[in-house]
C-alpha cells in the first residue's frame, strides 16, 4: 500500500490543489472554444444525429488532445505551427458559417455527420495547442494532473456544446458570435507564433487592426455568401 500512501500524499498538498484549480480554470476558458466548434458543426444535422455528433466529436477531440499532450515537447519545436493553425481556424470558422442544412435524406445526413466529426476533430487539433501547452505548464510535470485536465475538459465540452446548440436554435445571431470567438482565437494564435511574434510586438497598432479586419472578412464574407444563396433560391421557391 506504499503507492496508495504516496498517491494520497501527492494529492493532498497545497501545490497540487492549486495546480488542479488552475487547470480547471484553463479548461473552462479554453474548452469553451471547442464547445463552440462542436455546436457550430452539429447545428445543421438532424436532431437524432446532433447528440451523436457531440459525443463522437468530443471523443475524437480528447483522443487528439491526448496524443498532442504526449507530443507537446516535439510540437514546441515545429516552426510555424501556430501560424498555420491560426489560418486554418479562420477557414474553419468561415466554413462553419456557410455550411448548409441537410435536406436530402438519410444518406446525405450520414455524410454530413461524418463531415461534422472531421471538422470537430481538425478544429480541436488546431486549437488544442494552446490548451495542451497551458495544461502541461500548470501541471508542472505531473502526469496525474495532465490526465485530470483531460478528464475535466470532457464534461465542459459535452454540456457546453449542448447548451450553445440550444441557444443557437433559439437565437440564430449567436452563430455569428460563436464564429467571432473562433476568429479572435485564430488571430491570437497567428500573433503568438514565435516566427512573427517579435514583429507584432514591435507594431502594436497592427494587432488592434488585425482583429476587426479578420472579423469583418470572415463574418461579413460568410454573411454575403449566405445572402447570395438566399437570393438564388428565391426564383425556385416562386416558381414552385
Q: What is the pLDDT of residues 8-41, one digit of tens each?
A: 555 556 777 777 777 777 666 666 777 888 888 8
Q: How many residues does the chain have?
A: 240
d(CA 145, CA 130): 17
For position 102, what pLDDT does the model report? 47
Kindly give, in sequence order, each residue whose CB lies less than 8 Å from that of residue 26, ignoring residues fewer than 6 positions away.
Answer: 131, 134, 135, 138, 149
**What radius of gyration do the chain's Cα atoms show?**
20
Contacts for 55-61: CB closer than 8 Å, 24+ residues apart = 55/158, 56/117, 57/116, 57/117, 57/120, 57/121, 57/161, 58/120, 58/154, 58/157, 58/158, 58/161, 60/117, 60/120, 60/121, 60/124, 61/34, 61/120, 61/121, 61/124, 61/128, 61/157
| Contact between residue 131 and residue 153 where contact means Cβ atoms under 8 Å apart | yes
Asked whether the beta carbons of 143 and 182 are under 8 A apart, the reply is: no
CA 190 to chain centre: 15
How many angstroms separate the CA atoms of 58 and 156, rounded? Answer: 10
What was the pLDDT predicted at 210?
93
Angle CA(167)–CA(85)–CA(186) in degrees, nearest 5? 45
Task: For residue 56, give the C-alpha cell.
Answer: 463522437
> Within 10 A of 166 (CB to CB), how many other CB atoms are there?
12
Per-residue pLDDT of the chain (240 residues; tens, 9 = 90+): 554 455 455 555 677 777 777 777 766 666 677 788 888 888 878 887 888 888 888 888 778 777 777 776 566 667 887 788 788 888 888 888 887 654 444 445 555 778 888 888 887 777 766 666 666 666 666 677 777 777 777 777 778 888 888 888 888 888 888 888 888 888 888 888 888 989 998 988 998 899 999 999 999 998 888 888 777 666 554 554
Q: What pLDDT is attached to residue 6?
A: 52
Q: For residue 80, is it left (φ>0), alpha (ψ between -120 and 50) or beta?
A: left
Amino acid at each position: 500500500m506504499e503507492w496508495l500512501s504516496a498517491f494520497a500524499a501527492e494529492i493532498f498538498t497545497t501545490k497540487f490543489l492549486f495546480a488542479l484549480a488552475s487547470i480547471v480554470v484553463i479548461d473552462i476558458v479554453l474548452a469553451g472554444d471547442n464547445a463552440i466548434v462542436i455546436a457550430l458543426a452539429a447545428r445543421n444535422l438532424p436532431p437524432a444525429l446532433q447528440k451523436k455528433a457531440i459525443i463522437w466529436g468530443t471523443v475524437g477531440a480528447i483522443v487528439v488532445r491526448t496524443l498532442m499532450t504526449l507530443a507537446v515537447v516535439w510540437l514546441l519545436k515545429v516552426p510555424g505551427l501556430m501560424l498555420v493553425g491560426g489560418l486554418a481556424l479562420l477557414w474553419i470558422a468561415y466554413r462553419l458559417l456557410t455550411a448548409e442544412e441537410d435536406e436530402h435524406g438519410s444518406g446525405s445526413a450520414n455524410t454530413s455527420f461524418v463531415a461534422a466529426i472531421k471538422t470537430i476533430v481538425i478544429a480541436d487539433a488546431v486549437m488544442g495547442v494552446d490548451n495542451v501547452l497551458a495544461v502541461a505548464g500548470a501541471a508542472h510535470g505531473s502526469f496525474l494532473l495532465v490526465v485530470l485536465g483531460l478528464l475535466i475538459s470532457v464534461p465542459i465540452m459535452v454540456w457546453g456544446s449542448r447548451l450553445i446548440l440550444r441557444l443557437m436554435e433559439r437565437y440564430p445571431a449567436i452563430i455569428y458570435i460563436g464564429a467571432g470567438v473562433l476568429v479572435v482565437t485564430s488571430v491570437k494564435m497567428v500573433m503568438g507564433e514565435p516566427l512573427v511574434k517579435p514583429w507584432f510586438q514591435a507594431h502594436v497598432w497592427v494587432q488592434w487592426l488585425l482583429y476587426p479586419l479578420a472579423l469583418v472578412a470572415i463574418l461579413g464574407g460568410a454573411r454575403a455568401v449566405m445572402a447570395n444563396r438566399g437570393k438564388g433560391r428565391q426564383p425556385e421557391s416562386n416558381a414552385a
